[in-house]
């Protein structure tokens, strides 16, 4: 069925980004299956136990990015036994052993140990993106290994994870190449360290795990002072305007407010001006 050279077909396949569509085209004929297998760089595994990592690596030797899901979704409601499994370490060992040039790893509801993060940071020279959602088992020591050793890291996305804080300075180890940071627990001091370390930062999201809480994880104007200029309080028109004026490299800026009807705390005016026709906002 293949009427074109393999190189042409492979170039066409490069425009097919959907995992479902890539699976479908691999079933058309033996020739397409071979071309798709050898050219595929992104793989999604909906159940980490549905296939062995060795089988995945054998089928997709050009693998660069892998997404893995561990525990079922009802684990979010504590309906899964503690020792259910979902450990990512066997996958990391297999990937490192096979010399895969891994660049991106996305994990959801998996057990991620510090040993796993250390192995990632030492095994993949071109590693650029780490996304951990609803994962557990690691500490700030493991995050420090990634931040300190993955010098091409551009994206770190940590959401709804159970992270043991060892009170170490891990945020200041990020390379300047980082352009996207998504965190749900950082605080003013952490935000200042991140922004001062990542000069090329273009996207920053901070989602508080407890939007009504208090303590050292709360972000106020002190955390924004490095990327804006002396904002009086968080979520003022002046603060939003200063962010827009002083951060020309930002391509996306999202600020989540628990009370969208809340006025400017200084002037008591609506936040219309701050969210007006500023390009960055």
Q: What is the mean pLDDT of residues 42-67?
A: 95
Q: Would you give the distance in Å from CA 121 to the centre of its chain?
A: 15
Identify the pLDDT of residue 193.
Answer: 74
Same fold for the domain at 1-40 and the one at 43-253? no
Per-residue pLDDT of 222-244, as tens digits, reads 666 555 543 344 456 666 666 66
Identify the pLDDT of residue 77.
Answer: 83
> Binning pLDDT at 50, 70 and 90, where does residue 214 land?
very low
Identify the pLDDT of residue 229.
Answer: 41
167 pLDDT exceeds 90? no
Cβ proximity of 82 and 111 under 8 Å: no
SS3 191: helix
Q: What is the mean pLDDT of residues 246-264?
A: 63
213 pLDDT exceeds 90? no
Domain chopping of the chain, boundaries: 1-40, 43-253
Per-residue pLDDT of 119-161, as tens digits, reads 999 999 999 999 999 999 999 999 999 999 999 999 999 999 9
**CATH fold for domain 1-40:** Monooxygenase (1.20.1280)
115 pLDDT exceeds 60? yes
Q: What is the mean pLDDT of residues 89-101?
A: 95
Among the residue ranges 8-17, 85-94, 204-213, 272-281, the one predicted with the least confidence is: 272-281
- Higher pLDDT: 22 or 179? It is 22
Instruction: State the DSSP H helix or E strand holding residue 195, giving kind and residue range, or none if neither.
Output: helix 187-197
Q: What is the mean pLDDT of residues 29-33?
A: 89
84-93 LR contacts (CB < 8 Å, sep 24+)? 85/49, 85/111, 86/48, 86/110, 86/111, 87/111, 87/113, 87/137, 88/48, 88/112, 88/116, 89/113, 89/115, 89/116, 89/119, 90/53, 91/48, 91/53, 91/66, 92/116, 92/119, 92/120, 92/123, 93/119
Identify the pLDDT of residue 234.
Answer: 42
Specify the CATH number for 43-253; select among 3.80.10.10, 3.40.630.10, 3.90.70.10, 3.40.50.300: 3.80.10.10
């Amino acid at each position: 069925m293949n009427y074109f050279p393999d190189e042409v077909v492979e170039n066409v396949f490069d425009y097919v980004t959907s995992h479902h569509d890539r699976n479908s085209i691999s079933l058309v004929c033996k020739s397409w299956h071979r071309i798709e297998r050898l050219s595929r760089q992104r793989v999604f595994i909906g159940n980490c136990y549905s296939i062995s990592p060795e089988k995945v690596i054998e089928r997709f030797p050009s693998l660069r990015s892998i997404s893995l899901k561990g525990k079922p979704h009802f684990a979010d409601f504590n309906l899964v036994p503690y020792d259910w499994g979902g450990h990512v370490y066997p996958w990391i060992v297999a990937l490192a052993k096979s010399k895969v040039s891994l660049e991106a790893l996305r994990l959801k509801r998996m057990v991620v140990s510090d040993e796993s993060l250390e192995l990632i940071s030492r095994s993949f020279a071109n590693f650029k993106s780490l996304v951990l959602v609803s994962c557990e088992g690691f500490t700030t020591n493991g995050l420090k290994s990634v931040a300190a050793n993955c010098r091409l890291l551009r994206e770190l996305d940590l959401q709804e994870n159970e992270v043991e804080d060892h009170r170490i300075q891990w945020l200041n180890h990020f390379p300047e190449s980082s352009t996207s940071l998504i965190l749900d627990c950082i605080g003013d001091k952490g935000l200042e360290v991140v922004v001062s370390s990542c000069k090329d930062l273009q996207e920053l999201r901070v989602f508080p795990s407890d939007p009504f809480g208090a303590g050292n994880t709360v972000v106020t104007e002190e955390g924004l002072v490095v990327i804006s200029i002396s904002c009086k309080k968080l979520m003022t028109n002046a603060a939003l305007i200063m962010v827009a004026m002083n951060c020309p490299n930002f391509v996306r800026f999202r600020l989540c407010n628990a009370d969208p009807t809340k006025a400017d705390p200084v002037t008591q005016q609506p936040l219309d001006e701050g969210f007006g026709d500023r390009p960055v906002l």
